[in-house]
A = this chain, B = another copy of it.
Amino acid sequence: MRKYYLIILAVAAAAGTAAPQQRDRRLIDLTYSFSSQTIYWPTAEGFKLAVDAEGMTEKGYYYSAYSFSAAEHGGTHMDAPVHFARGMATIDQIPLTRVVAPGILVDVQKQAAADRDYQVTAQDLMEWEKSNGRIPDGCILLLRTGWGKFYPDKIKYLGTDKKGPEGVSQLHFPGLDPAAAGWLAANRKISAIGIDTASIDYGQSKLFESHQALYKEGLFAIENVANLHELPAKGFEIIALPMKIQGGSGAPVRIIAVMK
């Protein structure tokens, strides 16, 4: 695990340009890289990188450049509300204030370890509140099921390495219970929700009811979030900046945590 420390040098401080909060801040990358190993839904096209140039040019300098293609919803990505709710925001329309926000982490590893089809309940969320206070307005709520440790082993992480409808029928991983999604949308004012599995709905979901319950209210999920074992229950900020695809229903996202 790599941790990055922001070091503002003395010269910068002396020049008066380093704000106090930029000193000794720790940045944690919560993003998987995109490659041929990146996990996509069994029915989706995976990530492909093609070489356009790589090597010395005739003019005597080195040059490399590639092209890429992928489905929006694979790897570490952000859904837009329009993914499951007609007429709602596309990925480029999500305000920055929704994706640069305080983060909290709800840990349900024990429950998920005992049941790979576990669905996080409203009770689980209320347990977090007993220890940490009310889920703060405007926060990004991250669910840690522990599934991150399986990535990118498809059989362990998704429940299957099969493609197409057969693969979909064999998906097994934890998610958020639709009743808990409804409770969150009705009773708390979070900005977004993230999870360390391939979907906010559990693998065996047929109707994606947690997506539906959240997205019709303008909420949205960040899926396949990496490195949640690095985070405490609260006291950090999330910056989750999606690729700005005009009209997109989702996009690759670079998500990081800023530790205070």
Interface residues in chain A, defined as those with a beta carbon under 8 Å from any beta carbon in chain B: 4-9, 11-12, 15-19, 21-22, 27, 29, 31-35, 44-45, 49, 52, 59-73, 76, 82-86, 92, 95-97, 100-102, 104, 133-134, 136-139, 189, 206-208, 212, 234-235, 237, 239, 241-250, 252, 254, 256, 258, 260
A245 adjacent to B49 (CB under 8 Å): yes
Taking A22-B237, A66-B245, A67-B70 as known contacts, 19 extra A-B pairs with beta carbons closer than 8 A to each other, sorted by chain A number, are A6-B101, A11-B136, A11-B137, A12-B139, A15-B133, A17-B104, A17-B235, A18-B102, A21-B21, A27-B100, A44-B65, A44-B67, A59-B206, A62-B84, A63-B83, A64-B83, A65-B83, A67-B72, A243-B243
List residues of chain B with CB within 8 A of the CB of A239.
100, 239, 241
- Pull 14 A–B residue pairs with CB atoms less than 8 Å apart, ordered by A: A4-B96, A9-B138, A11-B136, A12-B136, A17-B234, A21-B21, A33-B92, A44-B67, A45-B67, A61-B212, A63-B83, A67-B71, A68-B245, A241-B254
Distance (whole angstroms) from the CB of A68 to the closest CB of chain B: 6
Residues of B within 8 A of A207 (CB): 59-61
Whether B244 and A12, one on each chain, are in contact in the complex, defined by CB atoms closer than 8 angstroms, is no
User: If the complex has contacts A12-B136, A241-B239, A245-B49, are A84 and B63 also in contact, measured as CB distance less than 8 A?
Assistant: yes
